[in-house]
Structure 1
Amino acid sequence: MSQSSPLDAVSSPPAAAHVGLSRRSVVAAGTGNALEFYDFAIFASLTPVISQLFFPSGDPLAAILSTLALYAVGFVMRPVGAIVFGRLADRHGRRIPLAISVLIMGVTTVLIGVMPTYAQAGVLAPLLLCVARLLQGLSVGGEFGTSASFLVEHAPRQRRGLYGSFAFFSSTAGSVLGALVVLVLTIWMPAEALNGWGWRIPFLLGFPLLAIGLYLRYRIAESPEFEAVKAENARARSPLRTLFREHWQAFLTLIGICIGFSVASATAQAFVLTYIRSVVGLPAVQALTSVVLATTFGVFMVLVFGHLSDRYGRRAVLLFACVLTVVLPYPSMLVMGSAGFGSALLGQLILWVPVAAFGGAIPALFAELFPTKVRASGFGIGYGFGSAIFAGTAPFVATLLIELTGDTLSPAWYMTAAGLVTLVVVLTSVSVRRSSVS
């Protein structure tokens, strides 16, 4: 008897009641995701400013590396958050962890906005910033897997790819909003004011998102698939033990897919701005404008690929994403490095195609990997570990590669290597059968 693929479950999603995804459910899940990644976007967009305010150094590159390391710290707690919130979601429902995660992220984002700088508090300032980033990582760790599972569980069977893609769509939209806010402030404020106090404004603007997100998530209905499991008394007593005893192959497959996706998406969303400002030398306004335009393009491409994954299957879209992650990083960075706004924008647009393809297919695929009783844990913990190891470190590794090799295109080879690993995983582990038509 042949051994089944760990992704064969994708071809036969659980037979739960099909309830149309309500507008409130989409907005509630999306607002929280947007808040989570709004902060990560403004932190990445303000890296040159934050590096000087919290890590003063005679070497600008050393200050930037310190800030990017702190960016990575935000990912360290993701697996912990996924374990804590995943168990809560699988035992007691999706609504509670969704509300708690948005509360933690919103409060810590606002706290960063009132935090003292190194000049005001000395070494205490970067320590407080580190604690805030750890709490935000805890929040994000419990957010994405639970919200994506929530969306997929509300979706009609034939449209899980599209509705699942709203998880990455909304998070990327939050990134666009964050970059747009920083862009407006950069245009509107003198550099001295932005570096002195204006950098706090984007963090403080997280409060309205917190209030809206918390209100909406408090009012949403529970996932129908979880309610069915609860009614049948089929919840796992220990979701973590069940996950690693019965679904470890799917868990490893998920992490393998995360490698290429995490490196490519973190490069596009967190590293590129620093690269085109510090390495290419593009002025701040032009650099931010190019990032906003490219990310906006990526936002809507995510939904396109989510729809295509329903029509042609998750595997086909994933293979497309992997191949492009292998072949496009070098030409995209080559174009990006050619001086000029148009080149920077075009290079980012090229890079966003495989990122959007991944983002459109993986939310539904990762949710379908696991049965409802361990879905939030399996999705969240696997994605948490994958993003912590590969996404959180990608900007730091990319900057370090440039420093060590002297080659400004060296980050492209890192993305290519990650894409190759994920390509092998998809070819060997993902079922050929199309999930959406079985």
Structure 2
Amino acid sequence: MSRSAPSVAAARGEGASAPASLARRSVVAAGAGNALEFYDFAIFASLTPVISQLFFPSGDPLAAILSTLALFAVGFVMRPVGAIVFGRLADRHGRRIPLAVAVLIMGVSTVLIGVMPTYAEAGVVAPLLLCVARLLQGLSVGGEFGTSASFLVEHAPPHRRGLYGSYAFFSSTAGSVIGAFVVLVLTISMSTEALHGWGWRVPFLLGFPLLVIGLYLRYRIAESPEFEQVKAENARSASPLRTLFAEHGRAFLTVIGICVGFNIAASTVQAFVLTYIRSVIGLSAVEALTTVVIATTVGVAMVPVFGHLSDRYGRKPVLVLACVLTVLLAYPSLLVIGLQGFGPALLGQLILWVPVAAFGGAIPALFAELFPTQVRASGFGIGYGFGSAIFAGSAPFVATLLIDLTGYTLAPAWYMTAAGLVTLTVVVFSASVARRPAAAT
């Protein structure tokens, strides 16, 4: 075979997949980092009512919650920056180093939140320090998800890219389950005074052992076989960013368009619903957290199923299903939650998790397949980073603001429905989404 043939295959991400044992280790290593990244986001969301009182004291409880949700959004602002920095590094020098550095930054900043002073102890300095920590975490997540998902897909057999890619969202959501569970245990076992006094710090400090585990696993992983092939063929792009926007602008915009529906729906069920159930519906902290843990556990179990379905039937049918379900189920899910009580709160979340799991199962492989190996981490990461910053980070804030402005507790459903319609339009009319996964061999 001529020298040019491997180069073309490498450029398209069609190189040989990793051996099975190596691929399994890669899934574990990438998953551990993803779990750490989103463990923090989960505990921050779960502790929003507590953090709002400790760092943003106000006579208006809703104003304090809005301030905390705005800070939650700040963590997303740095995602595109992290994607640019880490994506370029991953496309030029390999996936291993960015993955290790990303998990290190997240672990350190998570632990720092656990030891920083509150407003009562340091005044305005406290929310400023919290803001800095959130910016560092956003930088880390921005460099993490696109690189780790690309890494997973590049280790997968061609006919299992959807399944392998789905573990990126599966592991991140598993981290969310762990975070919510830790907060639930503390809430049950501690008095309100203890939780507000020092107990809230414990979940952040527990990020340290996850940091050690994540670093150890990622230190031992092998480089992506597809990147190694590109490197051996000397086919790396001298400027991944320039190549990305000059040659793959349409794919980049497709990623952002799909992120509209996915990020708004996912952020609503993962970050907003807990505050919604407690503040609007009136469930106790223990009941609300229990429903979140159960619903998220069921939701995360569905993600690989949809990843497998995207391998079997194609990415586009699964994404169309996800969009349609987002449009159809947004209002019913909040309506059921509004019936009040433990059962309706749990059922409403489970309803909304179905389209979110469908999105999470299909998009990692799709986003990776939209770009050649030379710019994959940059294209995936930056597109997803901008989508997350604009839509996921603002979703809890916008949802809460809609309720405040309209006085209608189901108003957030309008936002999810509109987002689902936007993404459905992108999926239906984007030719690049129609590409079917490689046939099983």
Per the normalisation by structure 1, the TM-score is: 0.96
Alignment of 1:436 onto 2:438: yes
1:129-176 superposed Cα distances (whole Å, 9 cap, x missing partner): 000000000000000000000000000000000000000000000000
Query: Secondary structure of the residue that 1:437 maps to in structure 2?
Result: coil
Alignment of 1:234-245 (within 5 A): 234-245=235-246
Partner SS, residue 327 of structure 1: helix
Question: Which letter maps to 1:351?
Answer: L
* Partner AA of 2:390 in structure 1: I
Residues 99-155 of structure 1 deviation map (CA, whole Å, 9 limit, x = unaligned)? 000000000000000010000000000000000000000000000000000000000
Alignment of 1:34-433 (within 5 A): 34-430=35-431, 431-433=433-435
Could you tell me how far apart the structure 1 residues matched to 2:23 and 2:253 are?
Answer: 33
Deviation at 1:13, TM superposition (A): 5.5
The question of whether the paired residues in 2 share the 8 Å contact of 1:91 and 1:236 is answered with: yes
Shift of 1:18: 1.9
Deviation at 1:22?
2.8
For residues 26 and 253 of structure 1, the distance between their equivalents in structure 2, rounded to whole angstroms, comes to 26
Given residue 180 of structure 2, which amino acid in structure 1 is its aligned partner? A
SS where residue 338 of structure 1 aligns?
Answer: coil
Instruction: Kindly state the Cα deviation for residue 350 of structure 1 after the two structures are TM-superposed.
Output: 0.1
Task: Output the amino acid matched with 2:13.
Answer: P
Give, as a single letter, the amino acid of the residue that structure 2 aligns with 1:354.
P
Contact 1:239–1:377 (Cα < 8 Å) also in 2? yes
Q: Is the 8 A contact 1:293 1:345 kept in 2?
A: yes
Report the 3-state secondary structure (helix = DSSP H, G, I; strand = E; otherwise coil) of the residue aligned with 2:186: helix
Q: Distance in 2 between matches of 1:242 and 1:255?
A: 18
Partner of 1:16: 15
CA offsets 1:165-193 (integer angstroms, 9 cap, x no match): 00000000000000000000000001110
Classify 1:296/1:129 alpha carbon distance in 2 versus 1 (closer, same or farther; 3 Å). same
SS of 1:236's equivalent in the other structure is coil
| Structure 1 residue ranges, 4+ long, deviating more than 6 angstroms after superposition | none
Q: Please report the TM-score for the alignment, with normalisation by the length of structure 2.
A: 0.96
Note the alpha carbon deviations across 1:275-328, whole angstroms, 9 max, x for none.
000000011101000000000011110010000000000001000000001110
Conserved in 1, the CA contact under 8 Å of 2:315 and 2:434? Answer: no
- Matches of 2:200 and 2:332 in 1, distance apart? 34
Q: What's the CA shift for 1:27? A: 1.1
CA contact 1:325–1:354 (8 Å) conserved in 2 = yes
Note the C-alpha offset of 1:23. 2.5
2: CA distance, partners of 1:18 / 1:39:
32
- Give SS of 1:435's match: coil
Inter-partner Cα distance in structure 2 for 1:349 and 1:378 = 32
- 1:336–1:347 Cα contact (<8 Å) kept: yes
Which residue identity does 1:404 align to in structure 2?
L
For residues 77-113 of structure 1, the C-alpha deviation after alignment (integer angstroms, 9 at most, x for no partner) is 0000000000000000000000000000000000000
Helix, strand or coil at the partner of 1:22: helix
CA distance in 1, matches of 2:57, 2:282: 21
RMSD of aligned Cα (Å) = 1.2
Instruction: Please tell me the residue identity of whatever aligns with 2:331.
Output: Y
**Alpha-carbon distance in structure 1 between the residues aligned to 2:82 and 2:347:** 36
Change (3 A) 1:215 1:94: same
Question: 1:30 is matched with which residue?
Answer: 31
Shift of 1:433: 4.7
Gaps of 5+ in 1: 1-8
SS at match of 2:409: coil
Q: Which residue does the alignment assign to 1:5?
A: none
Rounded to whole Å, the distance in 1 between the matches of 2:426 and 2:340 is 37
> Aligned pairs, how many?
428
Secondary structure of 2:193's aligned partner: helix
Assess if the C-alpha contact under 8 Å between 1:328 and 1:351 holds in 2.
yes
Contact 1:311 1:436 in 2 (8 A): no
Q: Is the 8 A contact 1:155 1:163 kept in 2?
A: yes
2:5 aligned residue: none
Distance in 1 (alpha carbons) for counterparts of 2:434 and 2:267: 28
> Is the CA contact 1:398–1:411 (under 8 Å) kept in the aligned structure 2?
yes
Distance 2:244 2:365 in 1: 18
What is the identity, as a one-letter code, of the residue corresponding to 2:16?
Answer: A
In 2, the alpha carbon distance for the partners of 1:226 and 1:217 equals 16
Secondary structure of the corresponding residue to residue 438 of structure 2: helix
Letter in 1 for 2:437: S
Once residues 58 and 233 of structure 2 are traced to their aligned partners in structure 1, the CA distance between those partners, rounded to angstroms, is: 60
Conserved? CA contact 2:170–2:304, under 8 Å: yes
Q: Unpaired runs of 5+ in structure 2?
A: 1-7
Q: Distance in 2 between matches of 1:434 and 1:335?
A: 36
- How much does 1:26 deviate? 1.1
